[in-house]
Amino acid sequence: MLTDRFDEALAYASRLHREQRRKGTDIPYVAHLLGVASIALENGADEDQAIAALLHDAVEDQGGLPRLREIRARFGDHVAEMVEHCTDAVVEPKPQWRPRKEAYIASLASKPEASLQVSLADKTHNAGAIIADLATHGEALWDRFTGGRDGSLWYYESLAQAFTDRIPGPPTDRFAALVGQMRAASELAAASVIIGQFEGGWLTQTAEQPRKNDRIEEYLDEHVLDATGASGRETIVLSTGMVGRDCRIRCIVRGDRHQMQGADFFEAFTRLRRQILEPMGLIPCCYGASLGVWPSGMARSMGLGLQAYRIEVGEAAGELVNIFDTGDDVMPATVDAQERYAKRWLASPHD
């Protein structure tokens, strides 16, 4: 249960960071602090951790050690300790970027789990923002970061390994999945885009070539799937792409091409199933169309809806799976059946 302490910390954090903006944007920095606190709470944080999430950048960006002493006086030793553990520099100018990040990663091996969970929430929010911005700005995004593309990917992959070693579980799995998507999105933004349609197909063009129209789509992946039907199994081919921030799926089935879009890929896939495939009597054999698989709101908003959790009524959410992957445990289901099961799971008691 959150108390007035959390409210005080929220107002305090807002005052400290009021003039600050997210790197390379006009987004108020408090949006990041709220996002980190939200993720921490969704991951099971207590009030001290939620307060530390709001204040995790206060020492590094807004006052150094004097600010840490003020946080300790206002919110106690435990909050101050976690904020300090989320800080990789307390002096200006900051030490060189690479040695500072190497030292921070090494320090995670000895920090308490409570502090690691706050740091994990911070890095999860950052990773989701990077993926979203890569979809909009492409490789130019990395110009905002001191470490550039290679250094930033090294840093996030090293963090994913360090968190996996110390605090394994669904929240860390979610972060590791985002880091994998970050590298994939960066490589694809550097390599190729899909431009419109060309003679019934999609034309691939390297990023260095001039763009010929305003229907720019980033190519992500292609999936060849089985689908169950009245006459047995059939093959469908799905290609995923993006137009701005819209997620699109192209489907080739029975010789025809169909396209569906959504705010994330799970939404686009659900619409494709409901409006195209199910009226044809087809159910894809993949996790995204399986009973007992459902995405969290965070996976959909920060991971493009490409990941979902295994769920079982009465049990906590299990591991993350890619919605277009398949396995022996896939249980093909209609959209309605999958949604009904997810509602039963949400209504059931589970830790």
- Is it the case that residue 28 has pLDDT exceeding 50? yes
Whether 202 is in a domain gets the answer: no
The verdict on 97 and 24 lying in the same domain is: yes
Print the domain residue range for 315: 215-347
- Is it the case that residue 214 has pLDDT exceeding 80? no
CATH number of the domain to which 98 belongs:
1.10.3210.10
199: left (phi over 0), alpha (psi -120 to 50) or beta: left
What's residue 192's pLDDT?
Answer: 36
Q: Total structural domains in the chain?
A: 2
The tens digit of pLDDT for each residue in 83-127 reads 999 998 877 788 899 999 999 999 999 999 999 999 999 999 999
pLDDT confidence band for 24 (50 / 70 / 90): confident
Give the span between the Cα atoms of 232 and 248, in whole angstroms.
Answer: 27
The tens digit of pLDDT for each residue in 325-341 reads 999 899 999 999 999 99
The verdict on 109 and 226 lying in the same domain is: no
What's residue 190's pLDDT?
Answer: 60
pTM greater than 0.95 (yes/no): no
What's residue 203's pLDDT?
Answer: 33
First to last CA, the chain: 16
The verdict on 223 and 156 lying in the same domain is: no
What's residue 220's pLDDT?
Answer: 57
DSSP lists the bridge partners of residue 157 as: none
Whether 68 is in a domain gets the answer: yes
The verdict on 85 and 149 lying in the same domain is: yes
Whether 201 is in a domain gets the answer: no
What's residue 211's pLDDT?
Answer: 37
Whether 54 is in a domain gets the answer: yes
The verdict on 167 and 225 lying in the same domain is: no
The share of the chain scoring above pLDDT 70, in percent, equals 88
Q: Which of 40, 320, 307 is nearest to 181 (CA)?
A: 307
Among 36-50, 240-254, 279-293, which is the least confidently predicted range? 240-254
Whether 69 is in a domain gets the answer: yes
Rg of the chain, C-alpha, whole Å: 22
The verdict on 219 and 183 lying in the same domain is: no
- Of 189, 224, 244, the domain-final residue: 189
Concatenated DSSP letters of 109-128: GGS-HHHHHHHHHHHHHHHH
The verdict on 183 and 219 lying in the same domain is: no
Helices (H) and strands (E) in the chain, counts: 13, 10
The verdict on 232 and 283 lying in the same domain is: yes
Q: Which of 57-61, 286-290, 312-316 has the highest mean pLDDT?
A: 286-290
- Of 189, 224, 251, the domain-final residue: 189
Q: Over the chain, what is the mean pLDDT?
A: 85
Say which residue, 230 or 31, is predicted with more confidence. Answer: 31
The verdict on 318 and 233 lying in the same domain is: yes
Whether 204 is in a domain gets the answer: no
